[in-house]
Every structure is written in structure tokens, then in C-alpha cells.
Structure 1
Amino acid sequence: MTLTRVIRLALVDDHAILRQGLRSLLEREDDLVVVGEASSEPEAAAMVDAVQPDVVLLDLKLSAGSDFEGLSLCAKFSATHPDLGLLVLTTFLDEDLVVRAVHAGARGYVVKDVDTTELVRAIRAISAGESAFDSRSAAAVVRSLNGRGEAREQLTDREVEVLRLLAAGLSNAKIGEQLFISATTAKFHVSNIMRKLGVSRRAEAVYAASKRGLI
């Protein structure tokens, strides 16, 4: 019998009732366990050092006095715990915020009204070293690809098109349909994109492009 690997989660949100609700929902899954909670930046830093979670669910707004304290915390965790999976779970959906969060080290971004199934899928993807965006956040990342000349220095025009479709979660076959090319050709472009961005998984391509300032 294969043992399921348990994903250790930490919740960072200034609303205790939301943390309690999340814990209750997430711990219904056999492979998810909440090992720590925090309501502020100092608490979060101490908690992560103490419990060493695999994934942190992080709100961007952690106090009334700071709009996006979570962005700063994201950047700190990215520097001090580079293997930590950072998933932004917030009420704010703004194209600039999504991109800033990714640049700060977040591997994913979902809005709080996401359904439980999609949130669990995102957590598992982050734990596996991949990226995770809900449909609206993914659309914001895709829009941010437009007009960035820096991406053109590394990727061909066709590869940029393929990267946009990758960010939307399309398979090789679907990418081929969208671009009127074969699935084999689409796979070739995806392989080139991953090679140029230095990643080994399809889902990491958008994250890697964001981290390097390409989107």
C-alpha cells in the first residue's frame, strides 16, 4: 500500500474565524494538515521558523494599518525559506497585485471566494513545486504578458503565444488547436520554453517567467 504524503500547511490571516474555517475545510482532506497559524507578520515569521510547513496560505492584508503587508512577508519568506511554497489567498484581485505577488516569491494566487476543490488543487500543485492560479488570476498573468519586450529577448513570438496558453492551463493538443499547429509541434515549443526558462515542469513556466521579470 502506498502511503499518502502529508502536506503541512500554515495559515497567515488576520481574521481568526477565517483561519478556523479554512482549517476545518482543509483538514477534511487526508493529505492536508494545518500545523500553524498566524495573524501578523512577526507571528508568521516566528511560526514558520518553528513548524517548518511545506505550504503557507498567505493573505496580502494583515493589518488595518498596512494595505499589502503580505507582499513584504512573501519576499522575506522567499529569501529565508526558498523551498517554502507560498500561496496567496486574498480578497484582492488586481493584475498588478498578482504580478507583484509572484515577483515577491508567491508560486500561486487565488481569491477567497474560490471553491474548496480548486483551493485544494492549488495547494497540492504548490507542494509539488508547481504554480497555481485560479482562472481570474491566471487571466491577469496572461494579460501582463502583453507588451513586455523583455520576454521577446528570450522567447520567440510563437513561444510567447504558447506561454500565454500554458498560463491558461491548456494541454499540448488544445494549444495546437488554438494556434493551428500539431500537438507535436506544440510540445516542441513547450519544451523550448521550459529549457529557456530553466524549468522542468509545464506549470512552472509562468512562475519562472514572472520571477525573471518577463511578465
Structure 2
Amino acid sequence: MSGIGLVLVDDHAVVRRGVQAYLTAVPGMRVLGEAADGQEAVELLARRAATGEPLPDVVLMDLQMPRVDGVAATAAITRAHPSVRVVVLTSFGEAERVHAALAAGAAGYVLKDADPAEVATAVRAAAAGEVHLDAAVARQLARRMAAPRAGLSALTDREREVLALVARGHSNREIADRLAISERTARTHVSNVLGKLQLASRTQAALLAIKEGLVPPPG
């Protein structure tokens, strides 16, 4: 099956139905399943993996849910299924929870009141290994983010270039094209940047680049 496979996780059925109705109508996207809380989501992916069914490319994850919340579920899913990208569904006031979800391995976030097209954009970005940031939330998260001990001084000039391109939302392929290097080399640079800065995701790297003034916040 082609296209981006999705699992929707939210404890409000009406939210799941609304998101599913829109994304199902978007060319190149298909909803593989849904869950009402984090525990159900973890179990759903475990069943699919055990039976050989395709795993989703992206999980859209609410944060505040009963039993297992979105942060814990994100950590469990990214640990068990590294290929699965988690995009957090958040309200504007949940910056602390979003920060925790990013630290747990979430690939990005989108506001619950975003228009459907932006949700689709965030899903596509995550599936492509890119970063999609809401401007207001990015500024809020960047202010809260603790700079790593070594800071940007730990990076080479090329790694700083790579970090800036990651922060602008470019995929490894786009970084490779811009810097005239192979995609494998670009991927290695991104991995080195995350390692040196002790960050879990490209989204965290983008937020740090904003905090440190390497790139401006998204418009």
C-alpha cells in the first residue's frame, strides 16, 4: 500500500472522527486505526507488528489522556518502533507537556485548532523526516529549552550549516542537495548534530537553533 499510513490517538471520539474524515479525503493518506488513550495506542501498534500488518508512518498523538498519557505513549512507541514518527496534537498552553513529548522522541507537533490543511502539512513533514513548527508555540518552547552544556560551539561549521537547514524544515535529501553532498553524508551530519547537542529529535534541534539565534522563529 502506498501513501502515508496514520494512527489517530485522542480520548475524544469526536476529535478522532473529525481528523479522520479530513485526512481520509487527502490524497496519499490513509488512516490505519485509532485509539482512545496511550495504552490502547501502544497495544495497537504492538498487535500490528506481531501480525505483520504495516505500521503507521505517523501517529497523531493527543497529550492529555486517561491511563497512559501522550508523553508516556510517545516514549513507548518511539522506543519499540523507531520508524514510526509521532506528531503531538496540542493546545497552545501545553508547552511543558510538548517539551516532554519532544524529549520522549516526538518528531513534531501541531495545534488542535490548526486548520485541516496545516495538520496534513505537519503529517507530510514528519513522514518525510522534516520539521513543522507553529510559530507561536516554537517561540514558547524555545524559551523553555535548556541549552546543552557545550552549546553550538561543539559543532563544526558544516554541522552548524546542517542545523540551520534542519531548523528551516529541510529533509536529509534537501540538505544534501543544498550542500552538494550525498544524502548519507547529510544523514550522518544530522545524527552528529543531535548527538553533540544531546537532543532526541530534529524538532528539538530546530527549537535550539531558534533559541540560540542561529535562525529566526518561523513566520
Do both proteins adopt the same fold according to a TM-score greater than 0.5, normalized to the shorter chain?
yes
Q: Secondary structure at the match of 2:30?
A: strand
Matched, 1:40 2:37: yes
Q: Which residue pairs with 1:131 in the alignment?
A: 131
The letter for the 1-side match of 2:64 is K
What is the Cα deviation at residue 79 of structure 1? 0.8
State the Cα RMSD in Å.
3.7
The letter for the 2-side match of 1:114 is A
The letter for the 2-side match of 1:122 is A
Alignment of 1:64-143 (within 5 A): 69-143=69-143
Q: Select which of 25, 28, 43 maps to 2:25.
A: 28
Distance 1:46 1:101, change over 3 A: same
Gaps of 5+ in 2: 49-54, 171-177, 181-185, 196-200, 213-219
Q: Which residue pairs with 2:216 in the alignment?
A: none
Matched, 1:11 2:3: no
Q: Percent identity?
A: 35
What is the Cα deviation at residue 210 of structure 1? 7.5
What is the Cα deviation at residue 100 of structure 1? 1.6
Contact 1:78 1:84 in 2 (8 A): yes
What is the Cα deviation at residue 139 of structure 1? 2.2
Contact 1:142 1:164 in 2 (8 A): no
Contact 2:59 2:84 in 1 (8 A): yes
Q: Secondary structure at the match of 1:58?
A: strand
The letter for the 2-side match of 1:58 is M
Gaps of 5+ in 1: 172-185
TM-score, with length taken from structure 1? 0.69
Q: Secondary structure at the match of 2:150?
A: helix
Larger radius of gyration between Structure 1 and Structure 2: 1
Q: Select which of 59, 62, 83 maps to 2:62.
A: 59
Contact 2:4 2:30 in 1 (8 A): yes
Separation of aligned partners in 2, 1:165 and 1:142: 17
Report how many residues are paired.
185
Separation of aligned partners in 2, 1:143 and 1:62: 26
TM-score, with length taken from structure 2? 0.68
Separation of aligned partners in 1, 2:151 and 2:129: 23
Separation of aligned partners in 2, 1:124 and 1:30: 11
The letter for the 2-side match of 1:102 is L
Separation of aligned partners in 1, 2:77 and 2:144: 24
Contact 2:162 2:190 in 1 (8 A): no
